[in-house]
Structure 1
Amino acid sequence: MASNDLSYRTGEAKGQAQAKTGQAMNTMKDKAQGTKDKASEMMASKDQTGGGGGGYMDKTCETTQAAKDKAAAAAEATKEKASQVAESGKETAEAGKEKTGGIMQKTGEQVMGMAQGAADAVKHTLGMAGEDANAKRDH
């Protein structure tokens, strides 16, 4: 009988432990639901009044937006500066091209003049120059 009594008490203790565990679980569930409800109320209050318990979220959103705006402004300023530098480089290249073209044209004319002079000298030496060319040389 002692073993029956021991089994009874063990079963009873087990039942009590299960009941207490169930009660603790229910208490935890109730507290979690209460916290969830309170958070939902705070968010609803914030949505209705535009403020409330979510002020830190508003500040975070403002800071994030300010950072995005600043980055966009910096990108635009960089883009404008790059455009100015490119335009300046283009103008400098065009000026250099015009200057180089003028020098090349002048050099070409000088070379042609020297070649014509050399050709006239050869013609004169060989006696192939016309009377008009000889008359110019004599004067």
Structure 2
Amino acid sequence: MSSQFNAGQNRAQAQATTEQWVDSAKDTASRAHDKAHDALGHSQGQAQQSKEENATFLQQTAESAANIAQGAIDGVKNTLGMGEQHKK
């Protein structure tokens, strides 16, 4: 009976050790998942911020180009005597 008892005890210890390893692996996987999720959220936030900054920059650039073009048109009109300065 002693050998059966030892075999049972060894099996119980092996099972407990296996369960500890499985639990440890689950915890490690869970922490890795959480870190990946946090990194993804951070990356998405940065991408949204960059998108908004780029949209603002493009809008400002378009407005500036429109103002420059309008200034050029007004300059040509004034040179040709068709501008507001000559209509009065």
TM-score by length of 2: 0.87
Q: Which has the higher contact order (CA 8 A, sep 6+)?
A: 2
Residue 85 of structure 2 is matched in structure 1 by 134
Residue 48 of structure 1 is matched in structure 2 by none
Q: Partners of 2:31 and 2:55 in 1: how far apart?
A: 36
Deviations 1:32-60 (A, max 9, x none): xxxxxx69xx4xxxxxxxxx331011000
Q: Partners of 1:90 and 1:126 in 2: how far apart?
A: 54
Find the structure with the greater CA-based Rg: 1
Structure 1, gaps ≥5 residues long: 1-37, 43-51
The one of 9, 21, 24 aligned to 1:67: 21
The one of 47, 68, 74 aligned to 1:114: 68
Q: Partners of 1:57 and 1:114 in 2: how far apart?
A: 84
Q: Segments of 4+ in structure 1 off by > 6 A? A: none
Give me the CA root mean square deviation.
2.2
Structure 2, gaps ≥5 residues long: none
Q: Partners of 1:75 and 1:126 in 2: how far apart?
A: 75
Deviations 1:73-100 (A, max 9, x none): 1001101100000000000111111111
